[in-house]
Structure 1
């Protein structure tokens, strides 16, 4: 056999073997989905099995910190193959930005941050509402202040976090007293900075929420001029990234169920609750107990009335020029989770 013929025969045999290998590989792939699942759930570079992770944004003063502290969500999701990654935020607007950027899948804020986020086209949906907590939110003044009524706020310098639930509460308080928003001196401050400004007398009043309200009443010579009753329902809202919600409806059901269970625990275990929160918030137990006693933790199913409350907040911000355009809150509500009315 000549060299050329030998080489040709060798190449022919190799070609047959390669073709047979491809056919066998195709058959093995077609026998079931096991291979596909492993490939999908494996990091191609490291070859290690990937873990499913749900990323939750929380604030230390919000109800999700209770769920985190109890550790019950992790236990519930472990058999489902999920791990929980918690990310802390100092404010609702920052949490909404993370939801927009995809660094978290799920989170909770007060009533105003989702409205600003929707106006900025953030992809999210409302999945549940918290119970009203207006008793612990309000406008604080110094005990010896000459401010005795909402009407006395005219011309005063008032601290609050821009785009927060306290922002709306203040707007409604001024409206109730017949005062224009332009008749006050707004001072946009996050809670920590506002507390310092209040104690130093750099602001005349402070619109804020619990547990900061209670802590300031007890330790900073403050008087609650007006709580949120008749001004706002001041609800928490639980929100999910739009794409995450589309693909993880059952997972969100589990999360909502565990949030409700942790809320029920909080309502019936005030002593344990304040012991858990005190080191986290660096607020004494007396203040936290005062806060817990005037709040009912828990969830409400989304209803037309609750969405109407949100729409009123959004419309108010449009009228004041605080957000640039009119929005329809119902556009970003998970319709499958709305109460059947």
Structure 2
């Protein structure tokens, strides 16, 4: 099996990101240093704006927004962005594809925002009842990982279902139209399905994975933009701590940016409890487990030792 990311595919994702965000946000004078940051549905930016931590930056941020982590990983791989937040599974997928990037900080969150959902009137009741059904997810995503481990726990294999790889917008449309029977996805998509479309949660990731999200950076950014990268990482950590006590303010800021319903985003932030943690042995074990699951399922073509993919030199307060 060979993983290949084509330039046309990457350009399509980057074009969509540019259109969605107006190409980029300039926060300081044009001659200031620039940090190119990839985001997913404005999650990081929403926290930083709400907490006031984007004020008085000594550099400019160019934001690129992505609907999922897999295209963000492609952008890191291509050097189109300097840093971006993505989950453990898509980071493994990007590293297996040859991305010259490393995890430079880690945050932990609750696992119930990652789930396999089905329509409110679906006859799917549990993971076992997915046998022979059509399940959508995004290739290389945390949703993909959940499908694999949930099936394993139920005594099934991926070959026992019809797994379809779709981006989130197409997967949502397919579920609504009955073209797929279930969708393995993450917040805010899970929350939208629960609160607005009254979908049922077939299974969530509680007990199936330790949920971490990583701020990854390219080797070039680590080497050549170290000072501003370190400042940004500290602001993200400070913003996450602030957001723990202010989920409604963060949701309001992100709703203004994305147009997503504020009540959905409040629900997402309140249950995620996202907070920074050190890169330690537990984090590395969890990441190695993800890599091993992907290897055994044939998602990545070779064994991956995750230890060199961490950079522990950025000390956060």
With structure 2 as the length reference, what TM-score do the two structures score?
A: 0.84
RMSD (Å) for aligned C-alpha atoms:
2.0
Contact kept in structure 2, 1:64 and 1:108, CA below 8 Å: no
User: Measured at CA, do residues 202 and 244 of structure 1 come closer, stay the same or move farther in structure 2, by a change above 3 Å?
Assistant: same
**1:58 has 2:26 as partner:** no
Aligned counterpart, 1:237: 214
SS in 2 for 1:277: helix
Contact kept in structure 2, 1:111 and 1:310, CA below 8 Å: yes
| In structure 2, C-alpha distance between the alignment counterparts of 1:61 and 1:227, rounded to whole Å | 23
Aligned counterpart, 1:332: 309
**What's the CA shift for 1:232?**
1.4
**What's the CA shift for 1:68?**
4.8
| In structure 2, C-alpha distance between the alignment counterparts of 1:158 and 1:191, rounded to whole Å | 13
Which one of the candidate residues 163, 171, 178 is aligned to 1:201?
178
Q: How many equivalent residue pairs?
A: 287
| In structure 2, C-alpha distance between the alignment counterparts of 1:273 and 1:337, rounded to whole Å | 26
**Mapping of residues 42-81 of structure 1, within 5 Å:** 50-60=31-41, 62-68=43-49, 70=51, 72-75=53-56, 77-78=57-58
SS in 2 for 1:129: strand
The higher relative CO (CA closer than 8 Å, separation ≥ 6) is in 2
| In structure 2, C-alpha distance between the alignment counterparts of 1:273 and 1:199, rounded to whole Å | 29
User: Measured at CA, do residues 280 and 51 of structure 1 come closer, stay the same or move farther in structure 2, by a change above 3 Å?
Assistant: closer
**1:221 has 2:202 as partner:** no
User: Measured at CA, do residues 259 and 73 of structure 1 come closer, stay the same or move farther in structure 2, by a change above 3 Å?
Assistant: same
| In structure 1, C-alpha distance between the alignment counterparts of 2:302 and 2:294, rounded to whole Å | 9
**What's the CA shift for 1:200?**
1.1
Which one of the candidate residues 246, 251, 256 is aligned to 1:279?
256
Which one of the candidate residues 240, 251, 267 is aligned to 1:290?
267
**1:124 has 2:105 as partner:** no
SS in 2 for 1:112: helix
Aligned counterpart, 2:139: 162
**What's the CA shift for 1:71?**
5.4
**What's the CA shift for 1:325?**
1.3
Aligned counterpart, 1:318: 295
**What's the CA shift for 1:50?**
4.4
| In structure 1, C-alpha distance between the alignment counterparts of 2:249 and 2:91, rounded to whole Å | 31
**1:88 has 2:65 as partner:** yes
Contact kept in structure 1, 2:46 and 2:251, CA below 8 Å: no
Structure 1 residue ranges without an equivalent (≥5) = 1-48
Aligned counterpart, 2:283: 306
**What's the CA shift for 1:109?**
0.9
SS in 2 for 1:289: helix
User: Measured at CA, do residues 248 and 184 of structure 1 come closer, stay the same or move farther in structure 2, by a change above 3 Å?
Assistant: same
SS in 2 for 1:305: helix
User: Measured at CA, do residues 63 and 51 of structure 1 come closer, stay the same or move farther in structure 2, by a change above 3 Å?
Assistant: closer
| In structure 2, C-alpha distance between the alignment counterparts of 1:312 and 1:338, rounded to whole Å | 25
> Which piece of structure 1 moves more, 219-228 or 174-183?
219-228
Contact kept in structure 2, 1:116 and 1:163, CA below 8 Å: yes
Structure 2 residue ranges without an equivalent (≥5) = 1-29
Deviations 1:7-31 (A, max 9, x none): xxxxxxxxxxxxxxxxxxxxxxxxx
| In structure 2, C-alpha distance between the alignment counterparts of 1:307 and 1:64, rounded to whole Å | 26
With structure 1 as the length reference, what TM-score do the two structures score?
A: 0.79
| In structure 1, C-alpha distance between the alignment counterparts of 2:170 and 2:49, rounded to whole Å | 26
Q: Which has the higher helix share?
A: 1
Higher-Rg member (1/2): 1
Contact kept in structure 2, 1:301 and 1:337, CA below 8 Å: no
> Which piece of structure 1 moves more, 313-322 or 88-97?
88-97
SS in 2 for 1:236: strand
